[in-house]
Amino acid sequence: MTIGEFDLIKTFFTDIGPVSGIALGVGDDCALLDIPAAHQLATSVDTLVAGVHFPADGETHAANPALIAQKALRCNLSDLAAVGAQPLAFTLALTLPQVDEGWLAEFARGLRACAEEFSIALIGGDTTRGAQRVITVQVLGAVPPAQALLRSGARPGDIIYVSGTLGDARAALDVIYRPSAQLSDEQHDWLRRYYLPSPRLTLGIALRGVASAAIDISDGLAADLGHILDHSGVGATINPSLLPLSPAMLTHPQALNFALHGGDDYELCFTAPPRLRTAVENIATQLQLPITAIGEIIAEKTLLQHTGEGGMTVLTRAGYQHF
Ligand code: ADP
Ligand code: MG
């Protein structure tokens, strides 16, 4: 006999993450949160669907449930990072075709590890039956009024920056969908980047008052920078030869394409006026995180890239889209 809905919740989804600041967690009709005084509540929700966002069971490359849980929470935390919010708590809505206790135990183990690493508690959710596994995580965070980093603040002359390195997560997709028996060290690195992206939470908070606009790169640099441009009513020139690549990507034949158009990196792309260049550099030093200037905001509403020969061409914004 399989366990029922309420035992399932009790067994796997209570006591995940630290309880400080949580007035009431899992179990009642609502959770109750103490929000830090004089802050705005930041909230975002994201859904992962089996067969779309991660391989379904039965596919040869079926994903480890602990890693699926990690990715679900990390992608959401990345949205908090992108607005400069500090994480408070999260909820989990889970649709399952059946109760597979082995899968649930592994999923909960990954979720717990991630919740502890980022000091964020699971305070509630919903559990339902459905044809496919669907995992919806909602995060709640706090940010002081008027300090959230928005997509809409970029101005001509601002410098465009990205954190970390780009393209690694896209390289992982080829490893996942064309599995081989023996993985190289690089391939292991790419898989880690794909399943365990690093939400840049401390960077987002440090960029309050410094960045004029910010976004996290989930669909690819060109597509996501494009959102900043649209929301800000500006354009940009970027220099592809400046894009930060990991050592493993340097020799990849598709490195540039993946860095521009591959998704899932969850680095931050942000803009800041040139007078704050030193402030940005100091943040990079303090956080020991590479931050690379890759281009500039321009008034004309186009996205251009430098060519090797000193010219400019239009850069397609192609990235991942569901529809
Ligand atoms: P209601 O019917 O009042 O909406 P539920 O029966 O759906 O409540 O859930 C009971 C309690 O368990 C609630 O506190 C809810 O937030 C929590 N819960 C349900 N599913 C999950 C889950 N997957 N993870 C965490 N908490 C959950
Ligand atoms: Mg109720």
Measure the N-to-C terminal CA separation of the chain; round to a whole number of Å: 40
Token code pair at residue 5: 């809905």
- Among protein residues, the one with the nearest Cα to ligand 1's atom 7 is 126
Q: 10 Å Cβ neighbour count for 5?
A: 12
Residue 204: CB within 6 Å of ligand 1? no
Local structure of 117: helix, strand or coil: helix
Token code pair at residue 37: 């005084």
Residue 92: CB within 6 Å of ligand 1? yes
Query: What is the rounded distance in angstroms from the CA atom of residue 231 to the CA atom of residue 229?
Result: 6
Q: What is the pTM of this model?
A: 0.94
| pLDDT at 133 exceeding the cut of 80 | yes
Distance 69 CA to ligand 1 centre (A): 18
Per-residue model confidence as pLDDT tens digits over 281-304: 999 999 999 999 999 999 999 999
- Residue 322 confidence (pLDDT): 52
- Residue 180 confidence (pLDDT): 77
Q: Position 91: which residue type? A: T
Query: What is the rounded distance in angstroms from the CA atom of residue 74 to the CA atom of residue 111?
Result: 10
Beta strands in 209-290 (DSSP E): 213-216, 235-238, 268-272
Torsion of CA 257, 186, 269, 69, to 10 degrees: 120
Which ligand is closest in space to the CA of residue 124? Answer: 1
Instruction: Determine the average pLDDT of the residues in 191-212.
Output: 96
Ligand 1 pocket test: which of 3, 24, 28, 127 has the largest number of ligand atoms within 8 Å of its C-beta? Answer: 127
